[in-house]
Amino acid sequence: MDNLNTLTRFDLFRVFLRLLFMQGLLNRRGMQNLALANALAPVAGKIDAGRVKSLQSRHLDFFNCNPNFVPVIVGGLLRLEVERLAGKPVSDNDIQYFKKSLAGPLAAAGDMLFIGSAKPLALTCACIFAIYKFPIGLLAVFLLYNLTIISCRLWGIYFGYAKGWELVDFFTGPVFQRLLGVVHGIGAAVAGIFVGVVFDRVPQTGPWVLVMGAVLLGTTLFALRRNVPASWLAIILFPISVLLSLLVGRW
Amino acid sequence: MSFIVELSLIAGLLAIDDRAGWQSLLAQPVFAGSLVGLVVGEFQVGVAVGLVLEIIWLSILPMRGQRRPDQVAGAVVGAGTAGLLLRLTADPRILLITAVGILVGLIVGEVTGRLLSPFNRFQNVVLGRVDLRNSSRIASGLLGLQLASLVYIFLVEGLLVFTFLSLSLNVTEWLTGAVSLVGSQGWLRLLPIIGAASLIHLYWQHSLKRVLVMFTVLTVLVLWIT
């Protein structure tokens, strides 16, 4: 395992730093290919020794994954590159296969975990704190979320580098699926609390709002099922509210 | 004028975080609105505008293929308009101005979301045409491209926010005179229901709806008892 010392923890940390702003190089043709090649720059000198084609130009093919899971794949592919440098039989095709076999599933899993669960969960918590005018709670949500995301990315690159090919087994195993289920469940629970807070406040504002609220809830659910954005409903509701206030006189 | 420039610069930085960075949540309306409120000196109004925008946009996830409103521009212009109006005019009708700020934020978010599409397409096309395979200075080329991309995002968002914030301050002065306090009050009371419906829609899946309903009922019960 001595060959793993080719790249130090600091080298991997520099790669991680470059991955923080990777979405700036997103493009339709190669998606994250430019960002991936850019992130490999700090370690290219150590891995390129004696090779005709540079490390960066070998990784300019199409690549797309959830940005929070890209460090895991980058760590894994750096491990394979280092193993090849140490004389192990790893070809360019093996590395391409490794990237492709992980990028697809991790993109879907990352979207579900981070965009579909963790982010709405954090934002729902932030909204509850904002409703109760508790700015420290807002700050805590912000710090906790960023700590989670950053540490997940940092852990990802070290974990990927330590595991190499074993990454495929880890992410297809039951542990990850269970984690996804737990985060989803917590998200639904916090969403339930938020809906409860909103439902509790509506009757306090008078019978007109209660009736209108019930109608609006049904209309919004119906519209959302037909892919009408909620923001459009909110905008349309403004003139209706003003008109109703003129007709009814008060809310 | 200096506030408008300041807020435009903030919007540019938030856009970098949202579109190129690790999406730290700072660009989300509830946080962006609070930040703008702090800068303008009307924190509570900033939080209120950001909160309502967040509630309404909560179910729009940045997944593939989904058209999103420009939440950064919406939050900065919405909270900025309300905050600056209160600060500059010392108008006592805080609720009305908050409602107008939210309406402006919603409209600006939708409009700039569409206006951004050609700018994003241009950036995509330019980056897609880059071929560094045979370049001898691939490392410096990529780093330069990344920096250029960040500057581009910053400038586009900054200019959009500058334009819409200048416009909205003039329009809202008229709007606050034309709209009744009662109507906007009713609207403000109803908006959270749209947010609640969005969340119900988001989590209404086979296994999760039971958890959602259970926690809703529990919360209502606890709040009624206390």
- The confidence score (pLDDT) of residue B101 equals 93
User: Which pair of structure tokens corresponds to residue A68?
Assistant: 């929070």
Q: How many other β-carbons are positioned within 10 Å of the β-carbon of residue B226?
A: 5
Q: Which residue has the higher pLDDT, B77 or B66?
A: B77
Cα separation, A224 vs A228, in Å, equals: 5
Burial pattern B59-98, b for ≥16 Cβ within 10 A else e, equals: bbeeeeeeebbbbbbbbbbbbbbbbbbbeeeeeeeeebbb
Residues 129-188 of A with CB under 8 A from B: 130-131, 133, 135, 138, 141-142, 145-146, 149-150, 153, 184-185, 187-188
Residue percentage of chain B with pLDDT more than 70 = 92
Cα separation, A116 vs A184, in Å, equals: 8
Lowest mean pLDDT among B1-10, B31-40, B84-93, B128-137: B128-137
For residue B218, the chain A residues in CB contact (below 8 A) are: 192, 196
Cα separation, B54 vs B143, in Å, equals: 34
- The confidence score (pLDDT) of residue A1 equals 47
Q: What is the pTM of this model?
A: 0.90
For residue B130, the chain A residues in CB contact (below 8 A) are: 27, 34
Is the CA virtual torsion B39, B41, B43, B46 positive or negative? negative
User: Helices (H), strands (E): how many in chain B?
Assistant: 8, 0
For B21, B204, B210, B212, the CA distances from A187, given in Å and listed in that order, are 24, 12, 12, 9
The answer to whether the beta carbons of residues B201 and A195 sit under 8 Å apart is: no
CA-based max dimension of chain B: 71
Cα separation, B174 vs A43, in Å, equals: 59
- Rg, chain A, Cα only: 24
- What percent helix, strand, coil does chain B show, rounded to 5? 80, 0, 20
End-to-end CA distance of chain A: 73
Cα separation, A113 vs A155, in Å, equals: 16
Cα separation, B6 vs A234, in Å, equals: 29
CA-based max dimension of chain A: 83
SS3 A33: helix
- The confidence score (pLDDT) of residue B33 equals 96
For residue B186, the chain A residues in CB contact (below 8 A) are: 208-209, 212, 241, 244-245, 251
Amino acid at the residue B155: L
Cβ separation B215–A38 shorter than 8 A? no
Question: Which helix (DSSP H) or strand (DSSP E) does residue B183 occupy?
Answer: helix B181-203
Nearest to B90 by CA among B32, B176, B5, B11: B176
- The confidence score (pLDDT) of residue B66 equals 62
List the Cα angle A141/A147/A150 in 5-degree steps. 135
Cα separation, B53 vs A237, in Å, equals: 14
Q: Is the pLDDT of residue B62 over 70?
A: no
Facing residue for A231 by CB, picked from B57, B214, B222: B57
pLDDT digits (tens, 9 = 90+) for B149-181: 999 999 999 999 999 999 998 888 777 777 666
User: Which pair of structure tokens corresponds to residue B5?
Assistant: 């420039």
SS3 B19: helix
pLDDT-derived band at B12, boundaries 50, 70, 90: very high
For residue A115, the chain B residues in CB contact (below 8 A) are: 61-63
Residue of B nearest to A69 (CA): B22
Cα separation, B226 vs B209, in Å, equals: 26
Residue percentage of chain B with pLDDT more than 90 = 54
Q: How many other β-carbons are positioned within 10 Å of the β-carbon of residue B159?
A: 14
Q: Across all residues in chain B, what is the average pLDDT?
A: 88
- The confidence score (pLDDT) of residue B205 equals 72
pLDDT-derived band at B131, boundaries 50, 70, 90: confident
Q: What is the ipTM of this complex?
A: 0.90
The answer to whether the beta carbons of residues B157 and B11 sit under 8 Å apart is: yes
Cα separation, A212 vs B84, in Å, equals: 32
- The confidence score (pLDDT) of residue A101 equals 87
pLDDT digits (tens, 9 = 90+) for B187-202: 888 888 998 998 898 8
Local confidence pLDDT in tens for the 251 residues of chain A: 446 678 899 999 999 999 999 999 998 888 999 999 999 999 988 887 666 568 888 888 899 999 999 999 999 999 999 998 888 888 888 999 899 888 988 898 888 889 888 999 999 999 999 999 999 999 999 999 999 999 999 999 999 999 888 887 777 777 777 888 888 899 999 999 999 999 888 767 677 778 888 999 999 999 988 888 888 999 999 888 888 877 776 55
